[in-house]
Amino acid sequence: MVGNFTGPNDLNLILCKSTLIEIYTVGEDGLESMLDVNIYGRISSMFLYRNPGEDRDQLFLLTEKGHFCVLGYDAQKSEIITKAIDEKSLVTSIVNDEKPAGVPASNGQIAIVDPEARMIGLHLHEGFFKVIPIEKGQLQTAYDIRLEETQIIEMKFLHGCVRPTLMVLYHDAKESRHIKTYEIVPQKEFIEGPWQLPNIEPSVELVITLPPPLLGILVIGERSIIYHKGNSITTQKTGGTSRNCSLSLNTPKLFKVFGKIDNSGRRILLGESTGALHCLILQGEGDKVTKLQLEYLGVTSIPSTIDYLDNGLVFVGSTTGDSQLIRLTEEKTPEGYFFNVLDRITNLGSIVDFAVVDINKQNQGQMITCSGALKDGSLRVVRNGIGVQEHAQVDLKGIKGLWSIDPCKEGEVEKYLIVSFVAETRILSMVGEELVESNLKGFDLDKKTIYAGNLIGDLYIQVTAKGISLIDGKKEMIRDTWIPEAQINLCSANATQILIAQGKDLSIFQIQNQKLIFKSKRTMDHEISCLNINPIEHNKNSSSICVVGLWTDISVRLLSVPDLVEIRKLELGGEILPRSVILKTLDHITYLIIALGDGNLLSYTYDMKSGDLENRKKLTLGTRPVILNDGHDHIFACSDRPSVIQHTNTKKLLFAPVNLKDVTYMCSFDCPSFPNSIALSNEDTLTIGTVDHVQKLHISTIPLGEVPRRIAYQDQSKTLCLLTVKTLFDGHGDVEEGWVKLLDARTFEIQDVYPLQADETPTAVASVSFSNNTIEYYVVGTAYIKEEPECSSGRILLFEGKNRKLRLQAELLVTGAVYSLDGFQEKIIAGVNSKVLLLKWDEASKELSIEFDYEGQSHALHVVTKGDFILVGDLQRSMSLLLYTSVDGTIKESARDYNPLWMTAVSFLDNEHFLGADDCYNIFCLENASSVEDRGKLEVCGEFHVGQFINRIREGSLAMAWDYANEVKGLSLSNVHLFGTISGSVGVVATLDKEHFKILTDLQAQILNVVKGVGGLDYNLWRAWKNDKTQTTRLAKGFVDGDIIAKFLDLPPEEAKKIAHHLDMPIELIQKIVETLTNQLH
């Protein structure tokens, strides 16, 4: 929705994502993220309204539990404030014997506000309409009014009425649809309203109320649109009246959402369920409407909301695809649309399945999700880190160094790239979009370059083992040289200073009047292994400090410049010498980062006044020596696991892995043809690319145009097996086609497809292998869709993916839907209706047969295996643990949870603990009962209300496997699992050692004493385990909320110290624990 929330002159777009509110400001360049607000509840409805006499809007929120609040914005503190709350929200204790307030509204909750802000109306329960009066901008005591209509579809307050007047769209027992109006009088009751519309088009779900001067309503159906302002309706064929007219639609259109372009309501955007966007124009003058006109504009993502912003900007929000920011145009675009797409907001929802893969074996997983619906269906690749978008690539082997330099004279060359090899140097120039080899006079191309760059005064510098050359960039001639007696090994420079190493000798030069001026020399105790003279003060052209790493004693020295007097000696310990070092200021904090020869990184904060080095951290970046390169606002670490090191808004270093397997050298390559780009090299190639905006989660999209249902990854063939459903119109109605598709796991190109039979839909897939066979197979489950109470037939198909082709090896007809599949003991386990089937494959006869079937479920929706155990998630009967005995080939129940829970996902957490999610948005953990009398039972050891519908849980992590062993003694995270939800959120669950679990539980309680929920909503009630079917609620246990724990790093220092005092722990230790966990999980 759009309004003036953060200020009278601020135009804000406010988005609701289930439990999250995102607030944007609308500017000339589009949308700018301003604030994210977590809500302790699932938001069912929200709207902006403005009290008379005020200059900004307030935000009303309603949760699915019926709690509501009114929020405002404090511009001085830049934070959300609570202006009014529902008294029920203040309850902080759990009451399980409370009777339900009534039958929940059958078509969902409705929250509306009178246009003149006289009252707010809520429809939460059948037969009741709750009124919250507003007097002088304050909410008054609410009261209920009896409502005779029960099957309510839509409710709106009408504009321009003396008394608040309610419009009700409903259907009766015969499915006929009608519209009634009611006036709400001071006696707290309904009286008959000004008009009614009986027996309207049966498809109507959308009614739009119009502001003055038009007033009245628009009734939007599949075959007609009606403007109504009185008791009679005429069509355009017979002539419109000033009060009513209608428009017949030639083809049915299922309009779902709308957005008013102007305040008068004469132009309204209408969005179809197909994504088609139209503009409805109400023609006429003054308060008259004489004609309705519908104009087609184009196709967007399937919309769930449409909001007109300003100056032709429109936000199209989508829950099934990416939301879009578009600009309306008067002329058609090349695509035939009347708008251009300016930006997209990524949406992973809804995630119905995902695979966790590590194709490049970098000890870092990536999620490949089945996301979206209908035409917006797609695969999303979710990585923790950043991406590099390649622009150009050149085959060049043996690169030993890269530097870019800016041309000093105007011309067609945009950038030079100096490429060093073992015995030569080559210069590439960017001309337009062409990268061509050139000859820059003054450079010695017959030697290996150690350093090259731009200097102050239109100078270039080239450093080789034989000397230093200053080159006039405009005249392309050598201005000065320095020839040493001994070879130069290393060099670092800035715009005015040059630091070189010759064995143990360290020398520094200054640039003055285009000349090399020798300043000082120092002989170090040992041979120099690395050096850096990066400017860290406000003066970006020079530095007063340099850093030098030494062999033998494994140390780093900080020296003053230009006299090279030692300021600080840092002994690193161990046997691995420093190979690269950098001193850099990020957000006013100076860091010393040291890369060791074994791939480890050390980081320190450096106090420029005292010279102290503090906050030592160590992590493992790779297995090879790391080279550190300075970027504008980050540090690029070249290695076999390249990363970008950046500062976050929480004043800590963020190590974001890059989606490349191997980088040996890197430099900036910013030019008009490739702005904000970098040059990268590995053993064989040189790549020019752009680093995406550094973020913790990098998402790329592979559009499908159909619905992805299930996915599985096969490491042997580096392929993915994807099950999809495509909806087509055959002239009589929608027809679904099921497909099995084989994709290349690196490029996502389709290698082969296999069509399923008519009325057959894909339901499950897994990668499996069998004994005495090195080939991996894909096994696919299906169901035949017929008009029957329960699916009675399906197939299990076995495919070989050799040579990137799907070859059907066997098929087995089964009596039910194949809900789930998994590899097990070199066999196949399948959940088919109420049975769990054990299947074996005979390679010789090419037959797939049932070895054993176990029946003890309602519907075996989920089966996962570990060792000899099979974990089953049932539609209605929670989880059961089955045991397979190889001696007799039987399956028996080992233990079960007897609670009536409807499972949506299950997984083994470890051999003793079992993770599950249910349809009440909970996640919980079970374990075998410890007592003898409860043997055979699974007991709850942890439960937590996530507030999201979890569709899949799989073992894996998006975080790179950093080595944090030296960070916090005894801190241990294991069994990391990921989950995906309908709303598109991704979560992480992991087990924690008991000592730190106790610490974090106490820390969470202390943080919650300081950080209060928005709108008076209580955190503990929100996270309490809930069962809506039994009306049971229990406080969460066995889980710690990582999002709450992470808030410790954002607390004001005074509050953080108080919490540390309560916990009787050093604040530095708490920070280390939280930062370590954050890095390991994210």
For 325-378, the pLDDT digits (tens) are 999 999 999 989 999 999 999 999 899 999 999 887 766 788 999 999 999 999
pLDDT of 239 over the 50 cut: no
pLDDT for the residue numbered 692: 73
pLDDT for the residue numbered 951: 96
pLDDT of 233 over the 60 cut: no
**DSSP category for residue 118:** S
Q: Of 122, 121, 118, nearest to 162 (Cα)?
A: 118
How far apart are the C-alpha atoms of 546 and 968, rounded to whole Å? 31
pLDDT for the residue numbered 648: 66
How far apart are the C-alpha atoms of 1037 and 154, rounded to whole Å? 40
CA 522 and chain centroid, separation:
52
Alpha helix locations (H) across 885-941?
none
For the segment 1053-1076, the average pLDDT, to the nearest whole number, is 90
H or E stretch covering 1000: helix 994-1010
H or E stretch covering 923: strand 922-928
State both tokens at 655: 């190590």
Would you say 809 and 798 are in contact if contact means Cβ atoms under 8 Å apart? Answer: yes
Pairing of the two strands 143-146 and 986-992: unpaired
Tell me yes or no: is domain 389-695 CATH 2.130.10.10: yes
Alpha-carbon distances of 182 from 164, 185, 547, 598, rounded to whole Å: 8, 9, 79, 77
Pairing of the two strands 128-135 and 143-146: antiparallel
Q: What angle do CA 855, 856, 859 make, to 5 degrees?
A: 90
What are the backbone angles phi and psi of residue 899, rounded to the nearest 5°?
-75, 140
Burial status of residue 376 (CB atoms within 10 A of its CB: 0-12, 13-18, 19 or more): buried
The DSSP code sequence of 932-967 is STTTTBEEEEEEEE-SS-EEEEEE--SS-----TTT
How far apart are the C-alpha atoms of 981 and 622, rounded to whole Å? 32
How far apart are the C-alpha atoms of 60 and 315, rounded to whole Å? 21
**DSSP category for residue 255:** E
Burial status of residue 82 (CB atoms within 10 A of its CB: 0-12, 13-18, 19 or more): middle
Alpha-carbon distances of 1042 from 131, 716, 955, 1002, 1009, rounded to whole Å: 39, 35, 18, 13, 16
Domain boundaries, the chain: 1-83, 104-200, 389-695, 993-1081
Would you say 900 and 859 are in contact if contact means Cβ atoms under 8 Å apart? Answer: no
For the segment 705-727, the average pLDDT, to the nearest whole number, is 94
What is the residue whose two structure tokens read 């070199």?
826
Span 899-957, pLDDT tens digits: 999 999 999 998 899 999 999 999 999 999 888 788 889 999 999 999 999 999 999 98
Per-residue confidence band for 125, with pLDDT thresholds at 50, 70 and 90 = very high
Pairing of the two strands 138-139 and 128-135: antiparallel
What is the residue whose two structure tokens read 């090191």?
645
The DSSP code sequence of 432-457 is TTEEEEE--TT--TTS-EEEEEEETT
pLDDT of 693 over the 70 cut: no
pLDDT of 236 over the 70 cut: no
Q: Is residue 994 classed as helix, strand or coil in its secondary structure?
A: helix
pLDDT for the residue numbered 391: 84
Instruction: Kindly give, in sequence order, each residue whose CB lies less than 8 Å from that of residue 395, ignoring residues fewer than 6 positions away.
Output: 684, 685, 686
How far apart are the C-alpha atoms of 169 and 209, rounded to whole Å? 12
State both tokens at 350: 């809804």
Span 637-665, pLDDT tens digits: 998 888 888 876 556 777 777 877 789 99
Q: Of 600, 599, 582, nearest to 591 (Cα)?
A: 582
Alpha-carbon distances of 1039 from 910, 970, 1044, rounded to whole Å: 16, 19, 12
Task: Give the number of other CB atoms < 10 A from CB of residue 165.
Answer: 22
Whether the link from the prior residue into 246 is cis, omega within 30° of 0, is no
Pairing of the two strands 490-493 and 497-502: antiparallel
What is the residue whose two structure tokens read 């590899």?
823
Alpha-carbon distances of 404 from 389, 420, 645, 680, rounded to whole Å: 19, 11, 21, 11
How far apart are the C-alpha atoms of 546 and 497, rounded to whole Å? 10
For the segment 273-289, the average pLDDT, to the nearest whole number, is 93
State both tokens at 590: 């100076």
pLDDT of 235 over the 50 cut: no
What radius of gyration, in Å, describes the C-alpha atoms of the chain? 33
Per-residue confidence band for 728, with pLDDT thresholds at 50, 70 and 90 = confident
**DSSP category for residue 1069:** H
Pairing of the two strands 401-405 and 578-586: unpaired
E-only strand ranges, 746-878: 750-755, 760-769, 776-784, 794-800, 807-814, 818-824, 827-832, 835-842, 847-855, 860-866, 869-874
Q: Of 449, 455, 429, 499, nearest to 665 (Cα)?
A: 449
State both tokens at 1027: 């069962």
Per-residue confidence band for 237, with pLDDT thresholds at 50, 70 and 90 = very low
Q: Is residue 685 classed as helix, strand or coil in its secondary structure?
A: strand
**DSSP category for residue 407:** -
pLDDT of 557 over the 60 cut: yes
* The dihedral sign for the CA sequence 764, 767, 770, 776: positive
State both tokens at 942: 């942890």
For the segment 465-478, the average pLDDT, to the nearest whole number, is 93
How far apart are the C-alpha atoms of 696 and 655, rounded to whole Å? 9
Query: Any idea which fold 993-1081 has?
Result: DNA polymerase; domain 1 (1.10.150)
Would you say 491 and 516 are in contact if contact means Cβ atoms under 8 Å apart? Answer: no
pLDDT of 29 over the 90 cut: no
Span 149-193, pLDDT tens digits: 889 999 999 999 999 999 999 999 888 999 999 999 988 899 999
SS3 content of the chain, % helix, strand, coil (to 5): 5, 50, 40
pLDDT of 730 over the 70 cut: no
pLDDT for the residue numbered 905: 97
What are the backbone angles phi and psi of residue 1068, rounded to the nearest 5°?
-65, -35
Would you say 132 and 140 are in contact if contact means Cβ atoms under 8 Å apart? Answer: yes
Per-residue confidence band for 961, with pLDDT thresholds at 50, 70 and 90 = low
State both tokens at 866: 């570990």
pLDDT for the residue numbered 238: 35
Burial status of residue 196 (CB atoms within 10 A of its CB: 0-12, 13-18, 19 or more): middle
Region of residue 319 (phi > 0: left; psi between -120 and 50: alpha; otherwise: beta):
alpha
How far apart are the C-alpha atoms of 419 and 425, rounded to whole Å? 6
% of the chain at pLDDT higher than 70: 95
Helices and strands (H and E) in the chain: how many? 5, 87
How far apart are the C-alpha atoms of 286 and 931, rounded to whole Å? 80
The DSSP code sequence of 636-666 is EEESSS-EEEEE-TTSSEEEEEBS-S--SEE
Alpha helix locations (H) across 1011-1066?
1019-1023, 1042-1046, 1053-1063
Would you say 15 and 325 are in contact if contact means Cβ atoms under 8 Å apart? Answer: no
Taking the CA of residue 719 as centre, how many other CA atoms within 13 Å lie in the half-sphere pointing to its CB?
25
**DSSP category for residue 1037:** B
As a residue count, the chain comes to: 1082
Q: Of 1080, 1075, 1042, 959, nearest to 605 (Cα)?
A: 1075
How far apart are the C-alpha atoms of 658 and 1082, rounded to whole Å? 14
How far apart are the C-alpha atoms of 294 and 280, rounded to whole Å? 5
